[in-house]
Amino acid sequence: MTAARRPHRWLPRPAGSAARLEFGADYNPDQWPREVWDEDVALMREAGVTIVSLAIFSWARLQPEPDRWDFEWLDEVMDLLHAGGITVDLATATASPPPWLTTNHPEILPVGSAGETIWPGSRQHWRPTSPIFRDHALRLVTALAERYADHPALVAWHVNNELGCHNAYDYSDDAATAFRHWLQSRYGSIDTLNHAWGTAFWSQRYGDFTEILPPRLAATIPNPTQVLDFKRFSSDALKGHLRAERDILQRLTPGIPVTTNFMVMGTTNALDYADWASEVDFVSNDHYVIPGPHDRDELSFSANLTGNLAGGAPWFLMEHSTSAVNWQPINLAKKPGELARDSLTHVAHGADAVCFFQWRQSSAGAEKYHSAMVPHAGRDSRVFRDVVTLGDTLRALAPIAGTLRRPADIAILFDWESWWALDGPAHPTTELRYREEVLAWYTALLDLGLRADVLPVASDLAPYRVVIAPLLHVVPTSLASRLADWVAEGGHLVTTFLSGVVDENDHVHLGGYPGALRDLLGIRVEEFAPRLPGESIPLDDGTTGTLWSEPLDLTDPTTEVLVRYAGGTLTGRPAITRRTHGLGSATYVSTRLTPEHLQPLLRDLTARAGVTSPLPPALRSAIEATVRTDGEHDWTFLINRTASAVDISEMPGDPVHPRPPLPVVGRLLAPHGVAVLSTDARRSER
């Protein structure tokens, strides 16, 4: 998070109208004949839709030739929606350039690392750094903003779509030029760059910025700092595009907030959203559940991090699916109840808008087998009935709109730079998955009934008693000092193997691992000892580690050993240590523990820090609880993490739910159900 946060802005609402949770979808009327549009609006009203994202992929229709525009159909759709009481998050339509543009200017097409052209025929086939593409895109943005500035349906702008979903890494000549400029401004001189990139290695020393290229396909392992900087640059290049569109919109329509849909836990990790969040008026995110053992907690984790990227303010769930997606090897339909559960989990973490991709399921094209609010089967379908029920539920939850999430006592740090660096070439193991490792800690806390805020690493840690920093690999000395100061003042830090190892240039902090955090932790590691797949290492508390181990020495008399290795050559050596420092403590975990095996450790460490679960013991592993509050009222979301009904009689408060199918029958919360209980805020603790 480099920039100060912009003030949060939300959708304008007519004076005197009550706050509400928004509900809707991407709407693609240009895929359908005119007569379908009336039915669309009627069904939207039936479902309680309040907003649609319009014209996301409509460039070729809006501008069929370089100097011919066709807005009449969009005028009509905007008018129809407005007449139906539905507001519009209008896309700038720049996500997929039309064929005439790529035919006239093939030089806007992205280039892969091996020099291969990414051809048109799908979407997002544009170079983030192409000046020609930028000119054409901004012309379209300007035309849309001028035409719809005063349209009463317009309440938000939707810049492009999922920037960088398919074109984050472009290795073209345009990218090379822009990369050189970016490097010049980062480093100032070629000598500084040579030092940062460690170019004394393998004769890579540059004499001038003009000699530098993106990390194109090379004979073997590329320069890791060049790769890391290219990732930073690529995130910045797309952020530059976002800013360029946003600046036009803010100039021409200053009353309309601007957003773009992030993919916080999406298929690419190329965009540093901690750095992007301050560029939009409100944060929006797209999230798709990938079915698997951790889908429930992964959804919560993503929503939680998005809420913190939004600085705790309400945010927009711009896309998720009503049922199956179309881009997995096997695309499973959602089970009964999952649609509501998934939506409400986002609301539990601060979303004030629940939207889907897309309104009406396409009958043709690449996404015809992707679910929608109105499926191929039409109105008479389980999905549409569930959609209507969800619309009712969101209406009943309207008082929640605009409320804030109550912060947790525990934070888990999330760091895109560490993720990028650990994904880089030639590391001690290829078995490491940053996101899964961080998620394991989150799951372990939920299993204990403990809530944590997933936070960008640059966040203020002062409000937290415990901070968990798994795999915090990139630790500049300034970050190490910040963590040490926070610990000295009473914070309890928990970190793991591979943390503190490198600085911002991906240079190893010399003298032993964990480098920049060595003194704070009071330990020293001379050599890594990664484990083979399937190989585990026993620990003397009865748990087992996998993936990683280390021969660890204590360097400070106050460092205590919490757990030792109990197998192989490391038998008897420390595995988990804790050092008190000032008023706080710093704990180090040198191996990978499953959520189940993290539990005893976390139970002990959080208890020592004075943090306990607010849930009754019987509910602790079954329920995820989050609280939204307006200071007077609390709304406690109870999310059933299990496939069994859970008795929630011990929880205070009255369920807020409109009509069947109720997730709460008597005081039993249905499998995977979500209950929202309303209580007086003054009775709550944090």
Residues in contact with ligand GAL by the rule CB under 6 A = 161-162, 165, 286, 288, 319, 325, 357, 367, 370
Residue 169 vs 486, nearer CB to ligand GAL: 169
Contact assessment for residue 491 and residue 467, using Cβ atoms and an 8 Å cutoff:
yes
Q: Name the residue nearer to ligand GAL (CB basis): 258 or 598.
A: 258
Cβ-contact 466, 409 below 8 angstroms:
yes
Query: Active-site residue 116, yes or no?
Result: no
93 close to 142: Cβ distance less than 8 angstroms: no
d(CA 126, CA 129): 9
SS3 552: strand
Nearer to ligand GAL, 58 or 599 (CB): 58
Choice between 162 and 338, CB closer to ligand GAL: 162
Omega of the bond prior to 661 within 30 degrees of 0, cis?
yes
Instruction: Provide CB contacts within 8 A for 625, sequence distance 6+.
Output: 449, 451, 614, 615, 619, 636, 637, 638, 639
- Tokens 């001690």 belong to residue: 428
DSSP alpha helix (H) spans, 168-223 = 173-187, 190-197
Q: Are strands 87-91 and 154-158 parallel, antiparallel or unpaired?
A: parallel
Please confirm, yes or no, whether 319 is among the known catalytic residues.
yes
Q: Which residue has the tokens 């955090």?
A: 517
Nearer to ligand GAL, 69 or 327 (CB): 327
- Cβ 289 to ligand GAL, closest distance in Å? 11
Q: Cα–Cα distance between 354 and 284 in angstroms, integer? A: 10
Q: Which residue has the tokens 């569109």?
A: 245
> 315 vs 33, 406, 442, 638, CA distance in Å?
33, 15, 21, 20
Active-site option among 22, 162, 279, 417: 162
Residue 409, token pair as written in the block: 């006592």
Query: Which of 243, 282, 285 lies closest to 264 in space, CA to CA?
Result: 285
Pairing of strands 404-405, 584-589: unpaired
Assigned token pair, 612: 């306990």
Helix (H) or strand (E) holding 423: helix 416-423
Smallest distance, ligand GAL to C-beta of residue 651, A: 35
Residues in Cβ contact with 154 at an 8 Å cutoff, skipping those fewer than 6 apart: 78, 87, 88, 90, 148, 253, 256
What's the closest the beta carbon of residue 486 comes to ligand GAL, in angstroms?
37
Contacts with 9 (C-beta within 8 Å, 6 or more apart), sequence order: 257, 281, 282
C-alpha 387/C-alpha 374 separation (Å) is 9
Residue by residue, DSSP assigns 48-78 as T--EEEE-TT-HHHH-SBTTB---HHHHHHH
For residue 517, what are its two tokens?
């955090």
118 Cβ partners below 8 Å, 6+ apart?
109, 110, 111, 112, 125, 167
273 within 8 A of 262, measured Cβ to Cβ = yes
Q: How far is the CB of 30 from ligand GAL (least distance, A)?
A: 14
CB of 249 to ligand GAL, least distance (A): 19
Closest to 514 measured CA to CA, from 503, 530, 525, 522: 525
- Output 275 or 319, the one with its CB closest to ligand GAL: 319
Q: Using the minimum distance from each CB to ligand GAL, give the nearer residue, 288 or 434.
A: 288
Minimum CB separation of residue 267 from ligand GAL in Å reads 8
Backbone φ and ψ for 597, nearest 5 degrees, come out as -80, -15
How far does Cα 94 stand from its chain's mean position? 22
Task: Between 179 and 288, name the residue whose CB sits nearer to ligand GAL.
Answer: 288
Closest to ligand GAL by CB, 262 vs 464, is 262
Q: Which residue has the tokens 């020099």?
A: 115
Catalytic, out of 22, 279, 298, 319: 319
CB of 318 to ligand GAL, least distance (A): 8
Comparing CB distances to ligand GAL, the nearer of 236 and 319 is 319
Q: Which is nearer to ligand GAL, 353 or 669 (CB)?
A: 353
**SS3 helix, strand, coil % of the chain, rounded to 5?**
35, 20, 45
Tokens read off for 615:
């849930």
Catalytically active residues are: 162, 319
